[in-house]
A and B are shown apart, each in its own frame.
Chain A
Amino acid sequence: DTEVTQTPKHLVMGMTNKKSLKCEQHMGHRAMYWYKQKAKKPPELMFVYSYEKLSINESVPSRFSPECPNSSLLNLHLHALQPEDSALYLCASSQDWQGRNEQFFGPGTRLTVL
């Protein structure tokens, strides 16, 4: 099973709302990632979790708050977002954090901030 699941599929929120994105994998992978992708661009790395600990934060604004409750789950909490944060948010996982390992992506959450 090489599946990464994400919910919700679509999310529309106002700038004062608080919402969360969820990601789950059952491949036993120890590294999980959040990416942001704008149209016609490759994914941009936001956060890396390795063994359930936040290893990398790519200078992401604090209005994005990641959380890793256990080795299979990854959340992204959203608060006070801006319209320019509208994008496809992707979760991925890999065996471990080393870049040589193939990453498996979820279907993404299409986020629209009004």
Chain B
Amino acid sequence: TQLLEQSPQFLSIQEGENLTVYCNSSSVFSSLQWYRQEPGEGPVLLVTVVTGGEVKKLKRLTFQFGDARKDSSLHITAAQPGDTGLYLCAGGTDSNYQLIWGAGTKLIIKP
């Protein structure tokens, strides 16, 4: 059974601080997607990483895919209140229709 362990599950920090969210698995994924979700809304795709060691940047957000394609991280620099939300990672493989989801990280950035 494929699992994706996401940590931390909850994070509350002050505006301007940095943070990192992790998704780890013992399984290899073909791709890993990061989403952000606001309450009552659908998940919004932030980035997809597909190559081992890949690093993608989206403004103050940096996403990394592990060399072995088993883990990924999301780093936010100088967090803003607008970064508040639920962050979800999801891994996919070519042989399975099912996305494997992390449990989510609820992030609160206090002004």
Contacts and interface: CB of A to CB of B under 8 A. Distances in A.
Interface string A38-53: 0011110100101000
Given A40-B86, A42-B104, A104-B45, 18 more contacts: A42-B103, A43-B101, A45-B99, A88-B40, A90-B42, A98-B92, A99-B94, A99-B97, A99-B99, A99-B100, A100-B30, A100-B50, A100-B94, A101-B92, A103-B33, A103-B99, A105-B43, A108-B41
B52 to A, nearest CB: 14
Contact of B101 (A42, A55, A97): A42
Interface residues of B, number: 31
B96 interface: yes
Contacts, number: 78
Interface of A: 2, 4, 6, 31, 40-43, 45, 48, 50, 55-56, 88, 90, 92, 97-108, 110
